[in-house]
Amino acid sequence: MSSAASRPTAGPFDRGHTDDLMAFLTASPSPYHAVASAAARLEKVGFRRVEETAAWDGTSGGKYVIRGGAIIAWYVPEGAAAHTPYRIVGAHTDSPNLRVKPRPDMGAQGWRQVAVEIYGGTLLNTWLDRDLGLAGRLTLRDGSHHLVNVDRPLLRVPQLAIHLDRSVNDGLKLDRQRHMQPIWGIGEVHEGDLISFVAAEAGVDAEDVTGWDLMVHAVDAPAYLGRDRELLAGPRMDNLLSVHAATAALASLADRDDLPYIPVLAAFDHEENGSEADTGAQGPLLGNVLERSVYARGGSYEDRARAFAGTVCLSSDTGHAVHPNYAERHDPTHHPRVNGGPILKVNVNQRYATDGSGRAVFAAACEKAGVPWQSFVSSNDMPCGTTIGPITAARHGISTVDIGVAILSMHSARELCGADDPYLLANALVAFLEG
């Protein structure tokens, strides 16, 4: 579908949204940077941060909570009753990558290296022979956190030359421990070198650093691709594409006091390794925020039950576009195409939470926004991935629908989507949150 044909008939976003997504991806090399980027965008339209340790009031307006690499943001319309249901867009901030170990300084044969652990189901070969930066957060002795982003060529995981492995093109096999440790210099290895370097980059004293959550990222900038610039290549689209779209959709509803629902952004960390964390969808964060909002507005447990019963969540995560070189790996009657609009993800074994009622909610939102949409189902002979959708539905008793954008190269260091699909998704999310 061409850019002109896929332009929505209603909604605030156009190709400029995709340009903004590129800036968001660049500014968000870690989950901690992603939530800071989202929070900054929300604050520009009047949202304010509330602390979990403070007492909450029942005032209207936009509010958000940050815990680690997760953010929950919501907008309470003026006069919203305590039992007002929520409309939630759920997403996740983490992506598969390489993460720095507790004792990072290592080396061999005169090379200085950084000890890393594999996070999530990453495509290991996509990290080879690529210029890599380092980002994340440092924790100081006083408990404060400092973001750091070395966004320049610093590290590299070198592949073995073909002369020393003549069979490499018949099948590359990488040992996750021996072959994935990046180099960052030559010379003797000294314990503490990496953290001293990163602390200096962050402008803090290395002696004060007592903890770190650091990860590797590709420093290639996002870019339009193709003769007609109809494709977008970039890092961490799974799932910052959805986080960005949901943030933009929620921000567009600031000061809308005519909403019948309370719109919510729920962006979790640690989806790529099972969501079992205090910042993950398996944790209590979302439920606590929704309940406290009910009670802060003078509600009772009965109001909480009524609000949850009327709530719907769109779990927005990337899915698989049909691959031109591997079409046989896809279901023969479901071939999502890039720039064909967001996808509705279905799996009867509840790897996705969508049912017929959820399909109707999503279809209505897309119709209202003038956005085309597609269906995705895994081939019966291929295992199906999962999302925060089933977790959210089961943990909170909330009706949940799995959706997203179709991409290629999922879990690569650099993924590929249609350049129109990000703004088509954002327009559909606005229509959904409006109710």
- pLDDT of residue 36 exceeding 70, the answer is yes
Do the Cβ atoms of 17 and 431 come closer than 8 Å? Answer: no
pLDDT at 1: 39
Question: What whole-number percentage of the chain has pLDDT above 90?
Answer: 96
pLDDT at 10: 78
- pLDDT of residue 413 exceeding 90, the answer is yes
Coil, strand or helix at 204:
coil
CB within 8 Å of 235: residues ≥ 6 apart: 25, 29, 95, 217, 218, 220, 222, 413, 414, 415
CA distance 254 to 417: 29
Burial 364-376 (b: 16+ CB within 10 A, else e): ebbebbebbbbeb
pLDDT at 382: 86
Average pLDDT of the chain, as a whole number: 96
CA distance 22 to 241: 9
Total Cβ atoms within 10 A of residue 324: 7
Confidence of residue 7 (pLDDT cuts 50, 70, 90): confident
Q: What is this structure's pTM?
A: 0.96
Strands (E), 109-208: 111-119, 132-140, 145-155, 183-186
Q: What is the DSSP letter of 191?
A: T
CB within 8 Å of 269: residues ≥ 6 apart: 31, 68, 69, 70, 92, 93, 94, 277, 279, 280
- pLDDT of residue 4 exceeding 50, the answer is no
CA distance 177 to 187: 22
pLDDT at 165: 93
Confidence of residue 296 (pLDDT cuts 50, 70, 90): very high
Question: What whole-number percentage of the chain has pLDDT above 70?
Answer: 99
What does the pLDDT average to over 359-369?
97
Confidence of residue 3 (pLDDT cuts 50, 70, 90): very low
- Radius of gyration (Cα) for the chain, nearest Å? 22
* Element containing residue 289 per DSSP (H, E): helix 285-296
- Give ∠ CA 290-293-294 in degrees, rounded to 5: 90
40-84: pLDDT as tens digits: 999 999 999 999 999 999 999 999 999 999 999 999 999 999 999
